[in-house]
Amino acid sequence: LAAILSNAQAALRFLETGKPDLNEIREILRDIVHDDKRAGNVIRSLRSMMRRTEEEKKPVMLKEVIEDVIAILHSEAVFRNVHIESDLGESLPPVLADRIQLQQVILNLIMNATEALPQNRPEERKIILRTEAADSCVRASVRDFGRGIEKENLDRLFQPFFTTKGSGLGMGLTLTKSIIEANGGRIWGENHPDGGAIFAFELPVIGGQ
């Protein structure tokens, strides 16, 4: 939306010059159409995610859910200049969970990771997504290279309305935790020994002990 606004303002400025370059204006309008379609797609995906109230548990491959979310967030990541790396286990077993809810969890964790990065140098604006086997569970983690979590806040991350952001709501991690627990799993967040924060969750594999 910010890109659409600045392009529309640029087009207005061109028109006010008296001798507008129509090719330039055509290019700007093309960009506006393109960005509008992209915004529409993002809003549609988010609406379908939020609208759902009933759980629908089915066998789900975490790798596929994460790939879906990376696709949804692609333009956001480009816009914020954040590089998303992934190391997704190829042959991990499925878990029994609600796919749309899991998308919401991963989206929340990636958005939090992204919001922890603005002060980083461009080469450190990176998030690593990983899936791996862990006993009779599959573990997914989102690691960032941001400022990390203040020690005194580690115990409060998942509490309702806990936020350190000026315009934060403090409900993202609360919702995330309740979704993971409703799907039989557990979630935690900590500082990574090499800097930044890492949030991970585990869900039991189908038929596991």
Interface residue list for ligand ADP (CB under 6 A) = 108, 112-113, 116, 144, 146, 149, 153, 157, 162-165, 168-174, 197
Tell the smallest beta-carbon distance from residue 68 to ligand ADP (Å): 20
Residue among 24 and 181 whose Cβ is closer to ligand ADP: 181
Residue among 171 and 206 whose Cβ is closer to ligand ADP: 171
Cα separation, 98 vs 49, whole angstroms: 11
Tell the smallest beta-carbon distance from residue 169 to ligand ADP (Å): 4
Residue among 157 and 187 whose Cβ is closer to ligand ADP: 157
Tell the smallest beta-carbon distance from residue 37 to ligand ADP (Å): 28
Residue among 16 and 155 whose Cβ is closer to ligand ADP: 155
b/e 63-91 (16+ beta carbons within 10 angstroms → b) = bebbebbbebbeebbeeeebebeeebbee
**Which residue lies nearest ligand ADP, judged by its C-beta?**
172
Q: Please enumerate, as own/partner, the contacts of 21-30 that have beta carbons within 8 Å and a separation of 24 or more.
A: none
Tell the smallest beta-carbon distance from residue 33 to ligand ADP (Å): 32
Tell me the two tokens of residue 192.
């990574």
If residue 134 lies in a helix (H) or strand (E), which one and from where to where?
A: strand 126-134
Task: Please state the separation of Cα 39 from the chain's center in Å.
Answer: 15
